Structure 1
Amino acid sequence: MKYLLLSTAIFSLIPSEAFGYTPLDTLSRQLDEVVVTARKPADDIIPAQTLSGKELHRLNSNSVADALRYFSGVQVKDYGGVGGIKTVNIRSMGTNHTGVVYDGVELGNAQNGQIDLGQFSLDNMEALSLYNGQKSEILQPAKDFGSAGTIYMRTRTPVFNEG
């Protein structure tokens, strides 16, 4: 027992730097500057369903109401066939609880509270987005908070060429 304590005391006095020692003659290189450019990824809290670009034009649809059939949780009601009103329910909450935004302007109908989505053509649409609830933005109208879902329509920006 004495020898064990004595040997432990002697070994504890030996510096332990030798075990973790790194040599000072390691090579170092100067790295070139790297510039990273990218867009900030979307950080929406509320998930969105979006149809845009070529996938929007590949659909066999003529109006926004027909294109919205491809979103999950959407029921399109067609009253009257060709020329009739087409409304949308989101999550079975009724047409009055569906918000519609066209290029940043909230649409509303004072007569019955329903928007006819059959009147909007897909010819000039750039993107259709569907949010369950509303977008996660700081400033938004109070009507958005009462909506079961909101449809955002964004039109194409016209390009004029000289000729």
Structure 2
Amino acid sequence: MKTQIKGMLVIAMMFTAGCSSKSAVKSTDGGETASSPSPVGSQSSSLPSGRTGYGFDKWQTGPLGDQFFDFNSSVLSTDAQEQLKQNAEWLTANSGKRVLIEGHCDSRGTSEYNLALGERRAAGAKEYIVKLGVAASRLESVSLGSERPFDTGQNEEAWAKNRRAHFIVK
């Protein structure tokens, strides 16, 4: 079982390594009809925040912003829901673009648990955007668990950056 999971991770990493965004922007900080989805949940935490415009933040590698999660959670915070709305607006304005949504976790927990949690995070972000009117066929989700951290530090600040759904424009 572990061999299969590791094999799937290697394939997923090779797949995503081949995907690149057209430009890097950094700053300071099944299709349904377009209707405002009901809140998935709300949280108050020390998650990275302060997004402006289309969510341009210091962790962003393209025109779409990341969604951040609390420890051991796949619940979309109010900030994450707002970021997803901004991402959906960009996707609506750029109808020819497809997106890969990567689910990431911090380094705590087993590989199996983190892969499952990363999948829930990516799938939740995808589902929310589909509810906002973006065709599901334009979105793909994959879990990378804790295999590709943004920040390799072993502290809460680093872990908070790694608990995310990351968007890559194809």
TM-score, normalised relative to structure 1: 0.28
Would you tell me which structure has more strand in proportion to its own residues? Answer: 1
Between Structure 1 and Structure 2, whose CA radius of gyration is higher? 1
Higher RCO structure (Cα 8 Å, ≥6 apart): 2
More helix by share: 2
